[in-house]
Structure 1
């Protein structure tokens, strides 16, 4: 009898930390958005491998491959901000559909170009930049759609599940893409991407309309600056942006991985260095139910950023590849804890009429940091060597996060149960849900 009770207690403990997937069965539109992103994400990550590979095959130049990032940066910034403005003024489902349709067209262009006797290099750069623009355009609408289709209390679970939608393609896509490209070349890889976007569109067409708020603002530069002004007026939001920017800028080590694998005398470990962080993030996602019990989200983000910095610094100390990979897994886990709580603060406290514009700012905050981090890592390694760049970056991350947490007391003390913005949005969404229920009951009675 005592053994049975012990087993039951253990099972309850496992359920208490496991990923809560009930949202996928309870909320149809959330399930459709998750499924469409999972399908198209897998195709996109195969193209993520195929595109630079084709540039390498055409040019044989490291510089030419590196220029793909430069081609993507400006479109991402411009369309990320403009996409946020549009997300607050038009049907968000429509913007997501337009973005997905454009991505499908771009994938078809890559497929056609790949079948030419002499594929055009300029097409790869143009399509790569256009993909970044499309991601910037639809990204804010996708992020802003979640608080409209999921209840206030379910938003932390939604953030964790959407993380899973990203992590599965990131782990499986490059591995699958590498196999396909090595055996059959890039044409089948681009073909899979085309099919994935077509399937994604079929799923998205079944999502209900997500019209703009009644307090909608017409798209304009004034609307964009209104969003920026709102974000800068809230210390808790600025904390989510600045802490992540500091962590990514000072401690993002990805640019050093090819050199790091050589220094570890383990060139075969290069792929594992790239995927280790995502493995850590996936572990957090699969055990994320505990995050529902955490209310001091600001402290959680600060702690996660500090663990990220410590993990990166420790990775630079070790010469054993297995210890390095373990540290990178820990860093990815810490980063995803930050991702979950940052998304929860954004979704639970930002008014719907501003959600799209703030999602555009969020997109830039978590996209620009890693890009700047690559530049920091490469430049610092040129001066201090690889070990100095990794350890020094981790220590700079710890110092900057500590300093920011000191000067951002409202962010540090944020409590989802008592924060006035969170309380206000909880009441607004509860009233909206009650109104929708009354309307539905009234329609059924008629």
Structure 2
């Protein structure tokens, strides 16, 4: 009897390992030293950057008392993203990407330091804040496509979706705890401290970038990027319908469905924060990344799904429905739950859209496609800041948010009908099975 049962004893452990492997985030990309250094640099900056993301709209709302002015952060952030995101992607295809990361991260750190200086000095000028935000976003717009284009040079193709999940997870980790820390620090240490912490984190990350290997173009030719390179990138994009559709559906999701410009007003007028800021504001900013973080930590299944187009469409529809629920919620905790559901859906969409981009674009075009990706991912919410801020001024926060979520669902259905290739897109087969 003992001989029959003893071989079966390890079976439960094996099943646990298999279940854990299907749920817990795939950590194999972290075994690659260069990617691990890039990933760890994101850990340091993730918290700091979110402090500034809370501080800018909060400072403007404190100065003006108007969500319409807060919405201007979208316009002042969007323009440099459009210009420098596209040009920065072209530059990333023609120079050493490591050197470009060093230059752009220094620029971001310096502008964060200037944001701290104006807040500490008490200038109380909306336009100084907006101009500094624009300069900061110009450097960011060059840095992000460069950082993302680096990943495919460091990680083998069958691990790209796992690498995307890990990168998105650590960024959302900061996006969860950064706003919560901001809500706790605001009443105690003041708004200027948020900018200062971000500055320190940005300077600290330069060491990790310095340790990356040199990453010149595969052709070995380093040259100056110009308008022609940007135009060539757009021509390439028009021939790649799946890539084009992935950008279109995310624009729909973000422009119509991202309500973050309304968080300062909602925190005070709906959820009872004091005028100087409080925990409700932190929870509202943390809600979406909290859901994204939870899904990212349990993303071990992500590489097993091959219908990437279907996965993106379904995730965006869930995002829209969650924003409808958020707009109608009167309880802070119910509102945070809906935001978290939306964040999980957005994370799923981001994982598969990034995997599609990394595999569908060639290396000589990857920087430019990542530039478009940056414009869409970062520019969409900034345009949403503008539209939601103005819509809320006219019809109220509830109607602006819930109506935007409904528009997301309608918009993504229309997009799929017009671009059916995206719905049928599958990842390439032959990926290495996960042990």
Provide the TM-score with structure 1 as the length reference: 0.84
RMSD: 2.8
Residue in structure 2 matched with residue 403 of structure 1 by the alignment: 414
Q: Out of 146-155 and 181-190, give the one that drifted further.
A: 181-190
CA 1:307–1:51 in 2, change beyond 3 Å: closer, same or farther? closer
State whether structure 2 residue 264 is matched by structure 1 residue 253: no
Residue in structure 2 matched with residue 76 of structure 1 by the alignment: 81
Where do residues 45-84 of structure 1 align in structure 2 (5 Å cutoff)? 45-55=50-60, 59-62=63-66, 65-84=70-89
| Alignment size in residue pairs | 418
Shift of 1:405: 1.1
Q: Contact 1:159–1:340 (CA<8 Å) still a contact in 2?
A: yes
Any unmatched runs of 5+ in structure 1? Answer: 427-446
State whether structure 2 residue 255 is matched by structure 1 residue 244: no
Shift of 1:56: 5.7
CA 1:51–1:385 in 2, change beyond 3 Å: closer, same or farther? closer
Alignment partners' CA distance in 2, 1:393 and 1:54 = 25
CA 1:113–1:332 in 2, change beyond 3 Å: closer, same or farther? closer
State whether structure 2 residue 367 is matched by structure 1 residue 361: no
Q: Contact 2:22–2:300 (CA<8 Å) still a contact in 1?
A: yes
Residue in structure 2 matched with residue 138 of structure 1 by the alignment: 143
Alignment partners' CA distance in 1, 2:265 and 2:192 = 30
State whether structure 2 residue 325 is matched by structure 1 residue 325: no
Among 193, 196, 212, the residue aligned to 2:198: 193
Residue in structure 2 matched with residue 276 of structure 1 by the alignment: 287
CA 1:43–1:394 in 2, change beyond 3 Å: closer, same or farther? closer
State whether structure 2 residue 419 is matched by structure 1 residue 413: no
State whether structure 2 residue 303 is matched by structure 1 residue 292: yes
Shift of 1:259: 5.0
Listed one character per residue, the Cα deviations across residues 25-79 of structure 1 (whole Å, up to 9, x for unaligned) are x11111111111221232222233344555566x455366554443322222111
State whether structure 2 residue 186 is matched by structure 1 residue 175: no
CA 1:397–1:54 in 2, change beyond 3 Å: closer, same or farther? closer
Residue in structure 2 matched with residue 347 of structure 1 by the alignment: 358
Among 95, 110, 130, the residue aligned to 1:125: 130
Shift of 1:239: 1.1
Residue in structure 2 matched with residue 223 of structure 1 by the alignment: 229
Alignment partners' CA distance in 1, 2:192 and 2:406 = 44
State whether structure 2 residue 49 is matched by structure 1 residue 44: yes
Shift of 1:385: 4.6
Shift of 1:375: 3.8
CA 1:187–1:276 in 2, change beyond 3 Å: closer, same or farther? closer
CA 1:350–1:68 in 2, change beyond 3 Å: closer, same or farther? same
Any unmatched runs of 5+ in structure 2? Answer: 274-278
Provide the TM-score with structure 2 as the length reference: 0.86
Shift of 1:235: 1.1
Structure with the larger RCO, 1 or 2 (CA within 8 Å, 6+ apart):
2
Q: Out of 65-74 and 95-104, give the one that drifted further.
A: 65-74
Shift of 1:173: 1.9
Residue in structure 2 matched with residue 206 of structure 1 by the alignment: 211
Q: Contact 1:111–1:190 (CA<8 Å) still a contact in 2?
A: yes
CA 1:323–1:71 in 2, change beyond 3 Å: closer, same or farther? closer
Q: Contact 2:88–2:371 (CA<8 Å) still a contact in 1?
A: yes
Alignment partners' CA distance in 1, 2:177 and 2:36 = 20
Among 301, 313, 320, the residue aligned to 1:309: 320
Q: Contact 2:80–2:141 (CA<8 Å) still a contact in 1?
A: yes
Q: Contact 2:245–2:419 (CA<8 Å) still a contact in 1?
A: yes
Listed one character per residue, the Cα deviations across residues 75-112 of structure 1 (whole Å, up to 9, x for unaligned) are 22111111011000000111100011122322333444
